[in-house]
Amino acid sequence: MTDRRQFLQAGVLAAGALALPRVGARAASGARVVSTWDFGVGANQAAWKVLAGGGSALDAVEAGARWAESELCNPTVGRCGNPDRDGVLSLDASIMDGDGRCGSVAALTDILHPVSVARKVMENTPHVMLVGEGAQQFAVAQGFERQKLLTPAAEKAWREWLKTAQYTPEINVERRGRPGDSSNHDTLGMLAIDANGRLAGACTTSGMAWKLHGRVGDSPIIGAGLYVDNEVGGATASG
């Protein structure tokens, strides 16, 4: 039977995974951060400020994901994300450290920083995942402000989509030969190792455009969108 170590070592070699060096005294010689897609550069810079100041990998990936959620105007991440077929922008996020602590939120509405809510789930509850209205109620109770996130551009795109409102499942879209620009990508996934050799990771996304209301992808699911283990490494999957 495959044990946890063998499973994770195989997983980081899978397509779409990002692997970091094996953690230990030799691997902890310097901090590093990586993220998915070219639009993750700004997120890397935000995370690196934390690492360069001696901060933890967990704080770094949260800072990087927060940058993407608020500063990056991309139709698949954060406040500029495209809504679901009902015109509602819902966000998913997860966060995990190398000790196995983790938290996530899904189908979260009207909250700017789902990754920070996910961290609150990890640190302040006995749960791993909160979704929908319950996630929003928890966020407000934790001091997060409700705000309208749908941008005029995203609303305009949604109204254009409504003219045809064609919704069909797309399987293996990568085989259609479309160029791999940012409009064809979703999710920001981040992994970091700090100066103490500790790992952390985060994922944040607005999910598929025009998705059915309530749809949840892999990003907020620990073991699917993200997994981190100080004894082995970390991996994040991104669409």
Tens-level pLDDT at each residue, the chain (239 residues) = 445 444 444 444 343 344 444 444 333 358 999 998 887 899 999 999 999 999 999 999 999 999 999 998 888 899 999 999 999 999 999 999 999 999 999 999 999 999 999 999 999 999 999 999 999 999 999 999 999 999 999 999 999 999 988 766 665 554 555 545 555 556 899 999 999 999 999 999 999 899 999 999 999 999 999 999 999 999 998 75
151 is catalytic: no
Pairing status of strand 102-109 against strand 129-131: parallel
What is the residue whose two structure tokens read 């195989």? 10
- Answer yes or no: are the C-beta atoms of 210 and 158 closer than 8 Å: yes
Q: Is 67 exposed, middle or buried (0-12, 13-18, 19+ CB in 10 A)?
A: buried
Which residue is catalytic, options 36, 76, 109, 187? 187
pTM of the full predicted structure?
0.84
Please tell me the distance from the alpha carbon of residue 98 to that of residue 182, in angstroms, as a whole number: 29
SS3 (DSSP) at 138: helix
